[in-house]
Amino acid sequence: MAVTTVEQRTASVTRYRTRNDLYRHAFLIFVCVLIIFPYVLTIIMSLKDFNQFNHNEFLPTLPFHFDNYFSRTGAFNTIWRYILNTIFVAAVSAAGAVAIAALTAHVFARYSFPGRETLYFLVIALLMIPGILTLVPQFLLIKSFGLFNTPWALIIPYISGGQVLAIFILRQFFAALPEELFEAARMDGASEFRAFVSISLPMSQSILGVVTIMHLLHSWNDLIWPLVTLTTPEKFTLTLGLYAYRNDNWTNWGPLFAGYVIASIPLLIVFAFTSRLFVEGLSSGALKL
């Protein structure tokens, strides 16, 4: 009787766990469908001509019009220069912002000097200032420097504006590194900068990747600042270029959605190659307060 009772309880627990697993998997599948559906719908719409779009927007219709992508008047012929402009701006600004923020965060984390905490909190207080409030003074500075309508009108503000959050994140990580490693480096005659390069940076690759990805996403998706500072179409970034492309094709939806698909490909490539690094950075505990 006791054995039967144990077997019944085991079977009941197994059924309960199986039912819960089924519910969880069904919920995850439902969420994945909701996430993927807009991308699939965009691809379907990008393969339609004007008449197909007006008669049936959401379902695939034959023939597929790949000329929306690669013809002389297709999206790629216009979008590619915007992608290159954005890659240059995002890569240079991310490298500059992360390099300066890492060095600053290392100083705040590993050095003791009068007023360190006060200065650090003054820097972090900038997180509470909405970016829209700095739009006008930032624009006047860029114009006075003669950088208006140049890539540096984007790069320099992105570098300066992207450091505050990066310093906040990196300082938490650098402060958690074992002090014994730095003491051993000093005993071996390493300078503070050498310790930063040889210890702090190699041990913080994951969190540096997280900060870099966050900065790339911000600079890649920004619209307001390029709209304010750029006037020549050849210098447009991707978001501003797509905005102008939409105005030129507001009745021709196929090439417009093809442009959206092409614009998403670089970020998908970045995500494919850096998702593991991003997860490692988030799970390292560096973002815990």
Give residue-wise pLDDT tens across range 100-113: 999 888 888 888 88
Confidence of residue 4 (pLDDT cuts 50, 70, 90): low
User: How far, in Å, are 21, 114, 129, 257 from residue 83 at the CA level?
Assistant: 43, 46, 30, 16
Confidence of residue 155 (pLDDT cuts 50, 70, 90): very high
The answer on 255 and 129 residing in a single domain is yes
DSSP state of 103: H
The answer on 83 and 13 residing in a single domain is no
The predicted structure's pLDDT at residue 86: 92
The answer on 229 and 104 residing in a single domain is yes
The answer on 146 and 91 residing in a single domain is yes
Residue 60 lies in a domain: no
The predicted structure's pLDDT at residue 1: 46
The two three-digit tokens of residue 156, written as one number: 């320099």
Alpha-carbon 262 to chain mean position: 17
Q: Residue 288: is its pLDDT beyond 60?
A: no
DSSP state of 236: -
The answer on 106 and 14 residing in a single domain is no
Residue 108 lies in a domain: yes
The answer on 132 and 217 residing in a single domain is yes
Residue 131 lies in a domain: yes
Q: Which amino acid is at 67?
A: D
The predicted structure's pLDDT at residue 85: 92
Q: What does the alpha-carbon distance between residue 34 and residue 76 come to, in Å, rounded to a whole number?
A: 28
Confidence of residue 116 (pLDDT cuts 50, 70, 90): confident
The answer on 209 and 116 residing in a single domain is yes
Q: Residue 90: is its pLDDT beyond 70?
A: yes
Q: Which amino acid is at 223?
A: L
Question: For residue 173, what is the domain's CATH number?
Answer: 1.10.3720.10
The answer on 120 and 224 residing in a single domain is yes
Q: What does the alpha-carbon distance between residue 29 and residue 27 come to, in Å, rounded to a whole number?
A: 5
Residue 55 lies in a domain: no
- Residues above pLDDT 90, as percent of the chain: 7
Average pLDDT over residues 172-178: 82
Q: What does the alpha-carbon distance between residue 267 and residue 81 come to, in Å, rounded to a whole number?
A: 16
- 264 three-class SS: helix
By CB atoms closer than 10 A (0-12, 13-18, 19+), residue 98 is buried
Residue with the bigger pLDDT between 73 and 289: it is 73
Q: Residue 289: is its pLDDT beyond 50?
A: no
| Cβ pair 203, 105 in contact under 8 A | no
Kindly report the number of other CB atoms within 10 A of residue 259's CB atom: 25
The answer on 88 and 24 residing in a single domain is no
Confidence of residue 250 (pLDDT cuts 50, 70, 90): low
pTM exceeds 0.85: no
The answer on 153 and 32 residing in a single domain is no
Q: What's the number of domains the chain is made of?
A: 2
The answer on 99 and 150 residing in a single domain is yes
Average pLDDT over residues 239-250: 79
**How many CA atoms within 13 Å lie on the side-chain side of 4?**
1
Residues 19-61 have pLDDT tens digits of: 777 888 888 888 888 888 888 888 888 888 878 877 777 778 8
Average pLDDT over residues 200-225: 85
Residue 63 lies in a domain: no
State the residue range of the domain holding 190: 76-283
The two three-digit tokens of residue 132, written as one number: 């829209």
Q: Residue 283: is its pLDDT beyond 50?
A: yes
Residue 68 lies in a domain: no
User: How far, in Å, are 41, 80, 252, 276 from residue 259 at the CA level?
Assistant: 14, 9, 12, 28
The answer on 277 and 209 residing in a single domain is yes
Residue 61 lies in a domain: no
Confidence of residue 286 (pLDDT cuts 50, 70, 90): very low
Residue with the bigger pLDDT between 249 and 271: it is 271
The predicted structure's pLDDT at residue 88: 93
Residue 262 lies in a domain: yes
The predicted structure's pLDDT at residue 246: 79
